[in-house]
Amino acid sequence: MHRRGGLLLVALAVFFAVLSPLLRWYAFPRLAKMPAGHYQEMVLEAKPATLLDYGTFEAEEVEKVTIVQTLKGNVEESERIERTVGRDVVVWDSLSYVQGPDGKMVSQIPERYIFDAHTQEPVHATGEMVDGDPVRREGIEFKWPFLTEKRDYQYFDAQARRSAPIHYKGTRQFRGLEVYYFEQTIPWTKVPYPKKMPIPGIDATRLEKQTGTTRWYTTKRMFWVDPVTGGPVNGEEIHREELRGGTLLGGRDKVTVFAGHVKMRPDYVDSTVELVKSQRQLVLLMTSYLPWGFLVLGGGLLALALVFEARGRRPQARAAEREPEPVPD
């Protein structure tokens, strides 16, 4: 009976010892993924800011500029692309809507971001775009991979329409979470005009050719990222845009279009942190709690099996000691 119990415990110990790495290295990469129908809204503000008055073409300081950024999962498009590429895909239709202190639109830039639901690597398919222009992303945008590493990543910049390194700068504490801090600097770069601008009767797609006035942009981008879920819990930009040369500026070399330190509104920081805290427990369950738990359980069962085996041998040993020696003839 002891022998059967010991064999059963050994079998269970082996089962849980094998299940531990399988759960972490095989099941988790296949089960952890972004939901196709994810929706998120974020409000960012620059207070104060410098903003161009398109009526006078003079830059003036204003109390606040607000940026409303929405991410909406397009389930229908993700299913269509999945049928062609043969893997789980997420399609995010995003919109960055910039408004001045009077609530009027300054610019709006739509994007379609297509990426692998498990790894967050870009998936190149028809419809990938920024402001209607086809693009081919490299690296990440909006979200880091699950189990973010302490290293630099390629991060896509929608204004410049290209990717550039975003540098890991160390581990920090943020609202009770241990997060990774990243920075990216985009140097002054000539960029396209937004197709929707607050200039009545002007075709933004032909503005540069008609006037010779070019649009330039630079930014320092900062993210505080939860390394478990890959979700940014805070983001800031020190952002600056200019118009340069041409007839639109009335002989001036350049004029500031927008300048300010853009930060997430505090209530959205709070809600994002709470969301990430709830999601990270699910990831930790599959990457840490259960694998280590199964490994410890397997070790405990093996130790118990050895105890059973040792106890089973003791009665046999005592019986052998009590057995009388044979009497010689």
pLDDT at 199: 77
Q: Which amino acid is at 279?
A: Q
Q: Which two tokens stand for residue 201?
A: 């009767």
Q: What is the 3-state secondary structure (H, E, C) of the chain?
A: CHHHHHHHHHHHHHHHHHHHHHHHHHHHHHHCCCCCCCEEEEEEEEEEEEEEECCCCEEEEECCEEEEEEEEECHHHHHHHHHHHCCCEEEEEEEEEEECCCCCEEEEEEEEEEEECCCCCECCCCCCEECCEECCCCCECCCCCCCCCCCCEEEEECCCCEEEEEEEEEEEEECCEEEEEEEEEEEEEEECCCCECCCCCCCHHHHHHHHCCEEEEEEEEEEEECCCCCCEEEEEEEEEEEEECCCCCCCCCEEEEEEEEEEECHHHHHHHHHHHHHHHHHHHHHHHHHHHHHHHHHHHHHHHHHHHHHHHHHHHHHHHHHCCCCCCC
Q: Which residue carries 């972490």 as its tokens?
A: 24
Task: Count Cβ neighbours within 10 Å for each residue of 280-299 and write b for 16 or more, e otherwise.
Answer: beebeebbeebbeebbebbe
Per-residue pLDDT of the chain (329 residues; tens, 9 = 90+): 555 666 777 777 777 778 888 877 888 888 888 999 999 999 999 999 999 998 888 999 999 999 999 999 999 999 999 999 999 999 999 999 999 998 899 999 999 999 999 999 999 999 999 999 999 999 999 999 999 999 999 999 999 999 999 999 999 999 999 999 999 999 999 999 999 888 777 778 888 888 899 999 999 999 999 999 999 999 999 999 999 999 988 889 999 999 999 999 999 999 999 999 988 888 888 888 888 888 887 787 777 777 766 666 655 545 555 555 555 55
| pLDDT given for residue 303 in this prediction | 76
Burial class (CB in 10 A: 0-12, 13-18, 19+), 114: buried
* pLDDT reported for residue 314: 57
Given this model, what pLDDT does residue 22 score? 83
Residue-level pLDDT at 50 = 97
Position 241 scores a pLDDT of: 97
List the structure tokens of 249.
Answer: 């500026």
pLDDT value for 282: 86
- Give me 1's structure tokens: 């009976």
Q: Could you give the CA distance from residue 229 to residue 227 in angstroms, rounded to a whole number? A: 6
- How many angstroms separate the CA atoms of 252 and 72, rounded? 41
pLDDT of residue 296: 80
Is 42:69 a contact under the CB 8 Å cutoff?
Answer: yes
Entry pTM: 0.87
Q: How far is Cα 106 from Cα 129, in angstroms, rounded to an integer? A: 21
The answer to whether the CB of 169 falls within 8 A of the CB of 185 is: no
Nearest 10 degrees: Cα torsion 124, 126, 130, 133: 120
